[in-house]
Amino acid sequence: MSLHDEIREQPERLYHLLRHQRQTAEKIAAEIHAREVNYVFLAARGTSDNAGRYANYLWGAHNRLPIALATPSLFTYYAQPPRLEKALVMGVSQSGQSPDIVSVLEEGRRQGCLTLAVTNAPNSPLAQAADLVFDIQAGPEKAVAATKTYTTELMALAMISAALRGAQDDWQALEKVPDWIATLLTQDADIERMAQRYRYMGQCVVLGRGFNYATAFEWALKLKELTYIIAEPYSSADFQHGPIAMIEGGFPVLAVAPQGKVFHSMFEMLARLREQQQAELVVISDDERVLALAQSAMRLPAGIPEWLTPLVAIVAGQLFACHLTRAKGYDTEKPRSITKVTETH
pLDDT 10s digits, 271-293: 999 998 999 999 999 999 999 99
CATH assignment of 3-175, among 3.40.50.10490, 1.10.3720.10, 2.40.110.10, 3.30.365.10: 3.40.50.10490
- Note if 340 is an active site residue: yes
7-17 per-residue burial string, b: 16 or more CB within 10 A, e: under 16: bbbbbebbbeb
Q: pLDDT-based confidence at 242, cuts 50/70/90?
A: confident
Residues 6+ positions from 308 with CB-CB distance below 8 Å = 158, 173, 174, 177, 180
Residue 232 pLDDT greater than 80, yes or no: yes
Segment among 39-43, 133-137, 333-337 with least mean pLDDT: 333-337
Q: CB of 233 within 8 A of CB of 187?
A: no
Q: CB of 21 within 8 A of CB of 137?
A: yes
Same fold, 3-175 and 178-327: yes
Residue type for position 98: S
Query: What is the overall mean pLDDT for the chain?
Result: 95
The residue annotated as part of the active site, out of 86, 142, 261, 340, is: 340
Q: What's the rounded Cα separation, in Å, for the pair 104 and 181? A: 34
Q: What's the rounded Cα separation, in Å, for the pair 45 and 42? A: 10
The CATH number of the domain covering residues in 178-327? 3.40.50.10490
124-139 average pLDDT score: 97
Residues 6+ positions from 268 with CB-CB distance below 8 Å = none
The pLDDT tens digits of the residues spanning 55-105 come to: 999 999 999 999 999 988 888 888 899 999 999 999 999 999 999 999 999
Q: pLDDT-based confidence at 146, cuts 50/70/90?
A: very high
**Rounded to two decimals, what is the model's pTM?**
0.96
Domain boundaries, the chain: 3-175, 178-327
